[in-house]
Amino acid sequence: MEPAPETPLPEVAVNFALTWDGRVSTRARTRADFSSPRDKHRLLELRAGADAVVAGRVTVETERMRMSLPDAELRADRVRRGLPPEPLRVVVSGSGALDPAARIFQTDAPPLLVFSTEQMPVPTRAALAAARATLHLGPGPRVDLRGMLALLRGRYGVRRVMCEGGPGLLRSLLEAGLVNEINVTFCPRVFGGAEAPALTGGPGSFFPSAVECRLESLEPLGGECFARYSVISHNP
């Protein structure tokens, strides 16, 4: 018998702002608000090109994210291309320890999906359902990211995902070989300190092998530098 074909997955791109010493936040994990207004608009442009925007719980709550598309021109352009005005919003949390009062749950549109596990407390499930979030809860302590992407493609028609953090989620996606594109803005700041998180989090174990990337574009502007890389090899 022929093996069943693998479920196609969406293309996964990520976007981060980095200091020149490679930090995505301070050691206190405060809001990453050190990039320019141009970079913040670039984030919206990247978001507008995706079918779904994904972020982890800590990032969503620390950054007070809505994960919406406030730019009217970008929304109109999506509609002209036959797309919904805004991409799906997706929050990922293995523990399910989400705050129902977080800003993202106070925004009615666009649709919001939460991928978590059966560890999510029952009162939290009820509160998020009341906030019109669609819950996808799996077994085990961690979200099955490959399964999440397959479901996004198969059930919701998602072909491109933009991951906006945090470092822990990016590390998990890279470990699973699920990242296709990395966008970074290098900002003229230096934070220093071993405790300030880097692109894949704090100090920890190395990947089994390096993730190789190819530079596709580089745009210096106003002291910042916007770079786009294709991932050309993943960890085994």
Number of domains in the chain: 1
Residues of the chain with pLDDT under 50: 1-4
pLDDT of residue 23: 86
pLDDT of residue 31: 63
User: What's the domain range around 113?
Assistant: 11-233
First to last CA, the chain: 27
pLDDT of residue 12: 98
- The answer as to whether 3 is a domain residue is no
- The answer as to whether 227 is a domain residue is yes
Distances (CA, A) of 226 to 11, 12, 35, 50, 54: 20, 18, 11, 18, 21
- The answer as to whether 5 is a domain residue is no
Q: How far apart are CA 174 and CA 177, in angstroms?
A: 5
Q: How far apart are CA 181 and CA 28, in angstroms?
A: 28
pLDDT of residue 10: 98
pLDDT of residue 1: 35
Q: What is the CATH number of the domain that holds 66?
A: 3.40.430.10
Do residues 24 and 165 touch, judged by C-beta distance below 8 A?
yes
- The answer as to whether 149 is a domain residue is yes
